[in-house]
Structure 1
Amino acid sequence: MAKQKLDPAQEITNEIIGLLEKGTMPWRRPWKIAGGGVPLRHNRERYQGINAFLLGLRSAMMGYSSPYWMTFAQAKALNASVKKGSKSSIVVYYGTASKRSADGGDASEGEDDGKEGGGTYRFLKSYRVFHVSQIEGLDASYYPEPEGGANDRPTMDPEAQAFFDAIDIDVRYGGDRACYIPSLDQVDMPDLARFESAGGFMSTLTHELAHATKAKDRLDRSFGVSSFGNEAYAKEELVACISEALMGQRMGFHADHIDNHAAYISSWITVLKGDTRFLFTAAAHAQRAVDWLVEASEAGMKKETFDEAA
């Protein structure tokens, strides 16, 4: 009997659905991770998008503090070895390749990119990595200790405050709700003092700013006509929540925005069961949203410096 081919998208989506069905928000991490929380490859490069999200999720579930991950072969090349019985974690990558001619057959794995002529196709491949806590014999630099310090207090770090202030999106503080209003292109936020922690404030602000990136003059993101609880609404909310997780990895706070967990979780389960690839789509949109916010902040800071110099 032929071995059933692994579908990494299905496997990963099933894992997330299983956690959501237990009523958990798997990307929430209430403790610190060394290196700021962004998962890193063996060569210190950052993981992006769905892989950053997935490995951050697994770090949260397992309580890992080091940000480093590597394959069996990469560990071996560093004269280290994976501990016996260690369970690997799946990561993925998309690529493109040329389709073979009709007489030469086609690749067994891939999706048509939709272009006329069908000269190329996109494929999704997976490979396995291990966290460095599952590996023996690595240099001590792969096991950094998280920075100490008190728990978050409702006071913002000046650098974090400057980061958000430099983003050219209209944010109005005050009141008792956090939301993005598309018709006004405006984010409404409660004051910092109303939050239990600065991390909670940054998480919520990132969530709403991520929504704001969907505007036509920014990333022009739409999943259709959105109303509370429908599929388009659920998809956009999932993008914003993954954006929180990715930004939190960069800035050192954990994603902790959703109060009405049950309603959101139910709608996400419906979306993910209907489309096993949407998690990857949502993570890609979230990475673009975070990248846009980071670039907008950097541009705003440069402009402020230039104006002061002038």
Structure 2
Amino acid sequence: MSDSTSESFLQRHSRDVAERLIRQMEEGTGPFVQPWDARMDLGLPMNPTTGRSYRGGNLLHLWALQNAWDVRDNRWMTYKQATAVGAQVRKGEKASVIEYWDWSPVEEAKKSGDPGLIAKAHPKVFFPRVFNASQIDGLPELLLATPRPEPEIQQACEKVIRDSGAVIHHDGGNQAFYRPMTDSIHLPEREAFHSASGYYATALHELGHWTGFPSRLNRPMKGGFGSEDYAKEELVAEVSSMLMGERLGIGHDPTQHAAYVKSWIKILRDDPREIFRAAAAAERVVEFLKVPEFVHEPLPKVEREQTTVAANQQELEKANTKLRTSTRSRMKQREHTMVV
């Protein structure tokens, strides 16, 4: 695929993803605008051959598809990955496109130290096609993770907050906010929250804002309430709090930030790529805060079947070669007879 074709496909793909998320936000069913309980949730869209969740915009895209299709399976994989574990995509099923960015050309250019090469280096983008497990026959039944005990969840949340080193004051009255001027988080008293999960969800959202400070992830923190820049920062914090809520098992409650939905819709309509930028920034927030990720046990590959297929293919190639040799020999003999 040429660079111009890739760019055109990327624009169409971004627009399709943004439009689906916009429709779901308008209906109140989008991944980061819908409340959900982690104890009843399937988990983040993941690849069962790697055991890891999808990242960034791909994660939001596949999660939105799960919502739209109302499927009860969070596993997504390519056709090749399905066959490698002994499964089979059903005939007629339609694939969903995701993005894969290869940054190795940029990394190699940086290693060279050549300013000219660095300036010309660009990542390559590919568009793998994946299928949901509901479209595939032969996969083992989905096993949901056992919910962790509440004390363990709270301990994990406390560790993330404590290890961040953020200054937190419980003097916010009935408000929760991050103040860049003093680089501090302000929350209501713990007793003001209806549940421990509610407290941690709010604290982690503000901690997401805290990571944007210049000495940390250095995101643009300009613009007052109601501005586009403010809404973009809120989108990053909301997606990052959703990811943290899933990883830590506290779920997601977006009600405090519902006022930004109209602004987010406008932002995505103006620039569909913004959802991918926000999702990538949210991933960096989660990584910066070292929020632990649950890794699933990867599905084993069916080595015996693959070996059998390879052996059969080799036998077929040998037979074809023998047939071609025999045919050429007969044709030469025939030609010789005709010449004589």
- Over aligned residue pairs, what C-alpha RMSD do you find? 3.4
The alignment status of 1:186 with 2:209, answered yes or no, reads no
Instruction: Tell me which of 273, 293, 304 is aligned to 2:289.
Output: 293
Aligned to 1:12: 17
The alignment status of 1:22 with 2:27, answered yes or no, reads yes
Unaligned runs of 5+ in 2: 107-114, 293-340
Q: Give the Cα separation in 2 of the matches to 1:255 and 1:29.
A: 5
On the 8 A contact 1:72/1:81 being kept in 2, the answer is yes
Aligned to 1:211: 209
Q: Give the Cα separation in 2 of the matches to 1:15 and 1:116.
A: 40
Percent identical pairs in the alignment equals 31
Instruction: Tell me which of 158, 162, 167 is aligned to 1:165.
Output: 162
Superposition deviation, residue 36 in structure 1: 8.2
Unaligned runs of 5+ in 1: 100-114, 297-310
On the 8 A contact 2:30/2:64 being kept in 1, the answer is no
Say which SS state the counterpart of residue 94 (structure 1) adopts.
strand
Which letter does structure 2 place at the counterpart of 1:192? R
Q: Give the Cα separation in 2 of the matches to 1:128 and 1:242.
A: 24
The alignment status of 1:274 with 2:270, answered yes or no, reads yes
On the 8 A contact 1:35/1:66 being kept in 2, the answer is no
Distance 1:167 1:18, change over 3 A: same
Q: Give the Cα separation in 1 of the matches to 2:248 and 2:29.
A: 23
Superposition deviation, residue 283 in structure 1: 1.0
The alignment status of 1:283 with 2:284, answered yes or no, reads no
Structure 1-normalised TM-score? 0.75
| Structure with the higher helix share, 1 or 2 | 2
On the 8 A contact 2:153/2:249 being kept in 1, the answer is no
On the 8 A contact 1:66/1:144 being kept in 2, the answer is no
The alignment status of 1:135 with 2:136, answered yes or no, reads yes
Please list the CA deviations of residues 73-99 of structure 1 after superposition, one character each: whole Å capped at 9, or x if unmatched.
211221212245545433212235879
Q: Give the Cα separation in 1 of the matches to 2:39 and 2:125.
A: 29
Is the radius of gyration larger for structure 1 or structure 2? 2
| Structure with the higher strand share, 1 or 2 | 1
Structure 2-normalised TM-score? 0.69
Which letter does structure 2 place at the counterpart of 1:215? F
Moved more, 62-71 or 173-182: 62-71
Instruction: Tell me which of 193, 196, 212 is aligned to 1:195.
Output: 193
State how many pairs are aligned: 273
Please list the CA deviations of residues 108-134 of structure 1 after superposition, one character each: whole Å capped at 9, or x if unmatched.
xxxxxxx97752334443222222233
On the 8 A contact 1:66/1:145 being kept in 2, the answer is no
Which letter does structure 2 place at the counterpart of 1:159? A
Say which SS state the counterpart of residue 266 (structure 1) adopts.
helix
Which letter does structure 1 place at the counterpart of 2:281? H
Distance 1:32 1:274, change over 3 A: same
